[in-house]
Chains A and B, each alone.
Chain A
Amino acid sequence: MSATRSRSAVLGRIRAATTTTPHAGTYESLPRAYRMQGELSSDQCVALLIERLREYDADITECTPDALIPTIATQIAKSGRSILAAPIGLPEDWLVPGCDWRVDHDLSHDQIEQTQGVVTAATCAVAESGTIVLHHGPAEGRRVLSLLPDWHLCVLKTSQVVETLPEYFARCDAPPALATFISGPSATADIEMTRIKGVHGPRFLNVIVVRD
């Protein structure tokens, strides 16, 4: 069957199957009685996020906005890594001295693979599930940037933290073309249900929470 013929055949069968059924209602009238809005205070919310991320074995550090740059430097030093990738729009002062920074001016996959870690910003974080959301803007980098390096240092502001997943979607003025939701480092439980960290993505997730 040719492609256009299949298209009209499939759509035709679908139409025939659905025109006779009673219309259950519009999209707007669908039930949404689940929890949309969290009840926790901002501090409790951040505390919950940190607890959940730690359950995923992520490494969390808190700091004030003034201490961000030294905190980034300390975390990088502590990790023992020095060859680092950076998204093209990462604030320049985050590129702390003492490291070999590879800013993503069209880096090849091999060049990114040869770095030891990456530093990015984030769009949002959901406390209830311990999820970091990236929309891959200039400071968050291309998708591949937070994927190939073994270590991901993500800088998150407390103003970006929401309690529930619906609150994140309420914040999206327009749906993004690209998004990655990260809930802890890469993991598998395929062998006898034993949770193993880091199969293919970054094995280590390090989050700096900035109290802004």
Chain B
Amino acid sequence: MIHPVLDPKLAPPFPKAALPVLRNPQLRKNVAHATDVITSKRGRLVAEKDDWQALRDAASALRAHVLENLGTYLEQFEERCTAAGGVVHWAADAAEAREIILNILRDENASEVIKIKTMTSAEIQLNPFLAQNGIEPHETDLAEIILQLGKDEPSHIVVPALHVNRSQVRDIFARTMHLPDLSDNPQELTAAARTYLRKKFLTVPTAISGANFLIAETGGVSVVESEGNGRMCLTLPRTMITLAGIEKVIPRYRDLEIMLQVLARSATGERMNPYTSLWTGVTKGDGPQRFHVVLLDNGRSDILQRERERQTLKCIRCAACMNACPVYRQTGGHAYGSVYPGPIGAILTPQLMKMEYAQSLPYASSLCGACYEVCPVKINIPEVLIDLRAKVTDQERNEERRFFDPLYLGMRMANKVFASAGRFQAAQRMMRIGLKPLTGKDGWIRSLPAYGARWTMTRDLRGVPQQSFREWWTSRANGKAKP
């Protein structure tokens, strides 16, 4: 398998990156199975909540309110967290966040660090940076160890290894943990990971986490998880570093009554995730005695400036949109070339890159609206997708070389053709004759020459029918219609 590139600056465009997956039946089966299981569990548990829409409304309004008052809530969080013994750092971009974390780890004389699954650390490419600087990061979430040991990349934000099946996990564990007799029973595989990690939990004195929520009222941080690896990392070490996007703040402790109810149901189709932890600064005798929070901007304040796109930042990373997305369900996550795949990734990634990369992602959608329907904080993803498509088109149009680009010449010509009925009908007749040799017996075109290949590379094209609707309509009026 080709090693996926999850750096938007280097990743190939979506249609190209999706190809190997579309031609890999095992991978598609793994992705379809996982998304089917979560989607059906989610549907069942959402149906049993009669106040689901009210919860969505509340969650959406709360997140929007936070974004409108983001500065106030962040300063409040900083003040309360500091008062409780935490140290708050601000990072304008990924490079600065990496430096801050490295400096803290160096002060701790750390040679290794245990990690709770965090998308934000993947966003800033923290693991390779730490490794280059002589600090070995250990992922502790089961899916993340599968990926780390298998030198693979996450393909989903809640179930990052959903593209890997049990026999593939067995092979990875057997090889890297030196357990040649390991079976592919998930129970046994999980037990192997438990044994492998227990020693790390008890001996590595520094840990890194993300945050699901920062609570302005108390300066507290909350992490939501299933396995208990999170609890291990945030209670056993001496020093804890939390990396959190600036949008993660919520006003008060009681707001968790909304967020926790929508998060677990949307993310994993459970009434509640097995463990939710909340801690505030440092507590004498309980948990790490040194605590740092790194507040990460990295493009987020730019998104905040655009009123329609701002809603992107309401996201609580539940991944319901990717499970529901017909495009994601076919391609899995690697095709998106970003640690944030699926519909939310398609709008978040280009914006985090300040619209300089990942320009193909706003097109990686059928605009069917399934993502909007399931989003617990009501992000209108199709609306943002269309907006971003317009931005991408504007950018491209403004490039000078575009004037001679065959695609744009064609588009300008098409514009003229579509503007007149006569020209359109003439073009239809020409296409019918011209495309005939390329059309198969079943009426489909599998491969077009020249520029058209860009379409047929990833999908088939319906041939031009023998009769156009307009022709059929006219002949019907003349009483000669075929049924």
Q: Chain A: residues with CB nearer than 8 A to chain B?
A: 1, 3, 6-7, 9-11, 13-18, 21, 23-25, 27, 30-35, 52, 56, 106, 109-110, 113, 126, 128-131, 136, 142-144, 147, 165-166, 168-170, 172, 175-194, 196, 198-202
Contact = CB atoms under 8 A, between A and B. Distances in A.
Interface stretch (B12-20, B83-91, B386-394): B83-91
A1 B92 contact: yes
Given A142-B285, A183-B273, A192-B34, A31 B228 contact: no
A41 to B, nearest CB: 19
Contacts of A34: 51, 54-55, 58, 258, 261
A25 B69 CA distance: 10
Given A106-B285, A131-B272, A175 B217 contact: yes
Nearest to B258: A34
Contact of B271 (A11, A170, A183): A183
Contacts of A136: 286
Given A33-B58, A136-B286, A182-B275, A3 B231 contact: no
Given A13-B297, A14-B304, A18-B71, A193 B235 contact: no
Contacts of B226: 186-189, 199
A18 B215 contact: no
B58 A1 contact: no
A41 B232 CA distance: 37
Provide the main secondary structure of the chain B interface. helix
Contacts of B307: 21
B214 interface: no
B57 A199 contact: no
Nearest to B286: A142
Contact of B190 (A13, A17, A166, A188): A188
Contacts of B228: 147, 186, 199-202
Interface in B248-305: 251-254, 256-258, 260-261, 264, 268, 270-281, 283, 285-287, 295, 297, 301-302, 304-305
B37 A193 contact: yes
Given A31-B61, A188-B142, A193-B38, 11 more contacts: A3-B100, A17-B304, A23-B68, A33-B58, A177-B279, A177-B280, A183-B274, A186-B274, A191-B161, A199-B229, A201-B232
A180 B277 contact: yes
B229 A6 contact: no
B90 A143 contact: no
Nearest to A191: B186
Given A18-B68, A18-B69, A177-B279, A143 B235 contact: yes
A185 B274 contact: yes
Contacts of A188: 142, 190, 226-227
A43 to B, nearest CB: 21
- The contact size tier of chain B is 35 or more
Contact of A31 (B57, B251, B272): B57
Interface in B41-84: 50-51, 54-55, 57-58, 61-62, 64-65, 67-71, 74-75, 84
Contacts of A191: 142, 146, 161, 166, 169, 186, 189-190
A39 to B, nearest CB: 11
B142 A190 contact: yes
Interface stretch (B130-138, B194-202, B335-343): B194-202
A34 B272 CA distance: 17
B190 A196 contact: yes
Given A169-B253, A199-B193, A177 B65 contact: no
A170 B251 CA distance: 16
A191 B248 CA distance: 29
Interface string B189-220: 11001100110011000000000000101101
Contacts of B304: 13-14, 17-18
A1 B201 CA distance: 34
Contacts of B183: none
Contacts of B257: 165-166, 168-169
B370 interface: no
A3 B274 CA distance: 37
B236 interface: yes
Contacts of B215: 175
B33 A192 contact: yes
B143 A190 contact: yes
A202 B38 CA distance: 25
29 contacts: A6-B90, A10-B246, A10-B297, A13-B301, A14-B71, A15-B71, A18-B68, A24-B64, A24-B65, A30-B61, A30-B65, A31-B57, A34-B55, A109-B202, A113-B202, A147-B231, A147-B235, A166-B257, A169-B254, A177-B280, A181-B276, A183-B272, A190-B142, A191-B169, A192-B166, A193-B162, A194-B186, A201-B228, A201-B274
B159 interface: yes
A14 B67 CA distance: 9
Contacts of A16: 305
